Structure 1
Amino acid sequence: MDRLLTALRAPLFIALGLAAVYALQTAPFLYYGLRPSELAMQLFILPTCVAAVICFKRPVLAVVIASIAAGFGTVFARAYHVSEPTFLSPLTPVETVAFLIIIMTVVFFGEPGAVVLEVGLLCLSATFALLFREYVNLYSSVLRLNFALCVAVVAVAVMVSIYFRARANMRRRELSAAVTDAQRAERVELARELHDVVAHHVTGMVVQAQAAMAVSDNDPLAAHRLLPGIVNSGTDALAAMRRLVGTLRESEPLYTATTDLQADVRAAVDRAAQAGVPARLRMELPASVPQEVGRSVLRLVQESLTNVYKHANSPTDVAVELTSTPATLRLTVRDDGRGGRVVPVGGSGGYGLVGMRERVELLGGLFSAGEVDGGWQVLAELPLGGDAR
């Protein structure tokens, strides 16, 4: 049906269709010959066909041309006793088809107020033809039957157009909603990447720079040993930013695939240790971890360690544990801070826990975070079956 509507909107298709109807209509007359009055009558029929062809571009002009042409055609037919074949209306078959095309187009595309006026003008022209194009008894049952038939045909055309207009509006709303949802999902994904990866590396740089400043007066060599970590964090942050720019410019994948979860998690813990976080790692992973689960686990570890950088109060031990059952992968990150959370330099946006919870829930897992014995614990359980929502 959508393809049919697209085809009907093509003026060439309409012109060819009307030409076919017109040829069938005039074929008998051409065989037996046309009288001068019948030939002159075609000058009032053809403008109506032209109006139907242009109605998609100029609907108001089409309505005016069709109404005037049908009105003058009625006057001419009455004056010169021209009898033309009719079809579902007092008009000729090609005029009837042209009128229906114009009515459906106006109803489908027009504003409600303009539709009433334009359809009303066309109906008035058709009623004028019903009453005066041929000699009929104004009180006869035949006239009443013909009038009822005209009303029914116009009503069907209007209702069909209203139906397709409602469907088109619904599709537009669905498309707009889908685009909005896709844009929002894209923004959320970019925000997560910025927060979980770029902010993670930048936080490491800040923490290490602060540590270097604190010890530089008493132990310059110790401060110097922190510089490679700052450089590495900065390099990783630049790489993450380039990946984001590539995503925006060329629709590249936002995340690089995790091929070795153990190595990636170990690298994240090692970077945290280099930044001064007393982290230790214990892993018991299955032989195969779904890619989405592995990627989310890595981001959870990075964000949890970033939160330790930023908020833990003098922790001496940060335990990162990854264990599994046949159905789930369990991550626990726990520090032994002395109670109370530290406000980091530059403040905190508060999106870290929200992002972690979203990641876990999108995969159908469970997430919790809170204080435990003065420290802070992050606990996540992810299904290994890829039960993503």
Structure 2
Amino acid sequence: MGEAKQVVYWIRRLSDIAAVGWLAMMLLMDLAIAGTRGGVQWLVPICGVAGIAAAILRRRFRVETFVVMLALSLATSMVIALSGFVGVPGAAETGALIILTLGVLRHVEPIKRAVVFGGTALVVLMAEGASRDPQNKLVFSFILFTAWTMTAAVGGYLRFQQERRKEAVHSVRRAERLEVARELHDLVAHHITGIVVQAQAARTVAAMKPEAVLPALDAIAGAGTDALTSMRRLVSVLRAEDEAARTPGTSLADLRLLTERFSANGPRVAFEIGSGIDDHTLAPEVMTTVHRVLREALTNIRKHAPGADWVEAELRRFDQLVLLRIRNFGSAADPRLSRLGGGFGLVGMAERVEALGGRLYAGPGSDGAWEVVAEFPTS
């Protein structure tokens, strides 16, 4: 996961360097024109320098740099127009406004605010084209309007894809929380049933064997503590309710059955369960989540790596950690997953794993095999 963040970081750095380099070339043109025309035309490259600085700082101060650049550009246009000077619009200034407008349309919340900023940028660009060279204002205004239109189209498309991604992630998480609600119902019913049975047994033996009541009460208290612990873990991600219920409990036999069914219609799965793990080792909610992560990982292999030669799965316990690892060999990962930032099923799995205090990683391993690793604390 750290390697993926580094890749994204360097891609952003390279894009920033490319943008600044492009604006610097535009600034050289502005300086050459200002040297030829003189006068207030020198305000244009000064505004271009401010635009380069705004482009460098735009990720940290998205709105502030945009507003300052709009004000500088509009002030420059007004000064040139009032002086009656026949000038030329600034290339670096315009390029910086285009870059800043694109970022605003894509990232600023809420959307209405981004639209208002985009419209304001259009007004400033039109003022730049109309005031700097009255003789050719129609030509410059048309060029700047075309540039703004293309920017608005690209920014709107990127914003649409971003909102679509957010909605899909929200839907997956909501579905996962509904599933957690079902499991919460199952776990509570399971624990409460045990408590009731133990309480009835304690009442039965109280008259004939009073000394047996105290151990029974201790067992009831322990069962209640286990129930509260399981409920707290699941409720931490629960934000919705659902009346559906299923049969409670997942066992190691269910995990083996899942891998056997996958092997029957897909790549062979070698599933190994380490020593010290049995049906009573892991908490019920952890065992259920292990089953869901294993199922999601195998489903992704079937969908995105159908040519995999074989799959290695292992469940091991360490001192304070239980680790589930699924790896597929002989088939590269589907590049669409990388472009989308990961499958939506993995979003839901990460939600569940993190709710239990664990971590989920999905990506290429050190040997190039694609792997999904889920870590759970044992306490």
Bucket of the pairwise TM-score, normalised by the shorter protein: 0.3 to 0.5
TM-score with structure 2 setting the length: 0.47
TM-score with structure 1 setting the length: 0.46
* Structure (1 or 2) with the larger CA radius of gyration: 1
Question: Comparing both chains, which one has the higher relative contact order based on Cα–Cα distances under 8 Å and sequence gaps of 6 or more?
Answer: 2
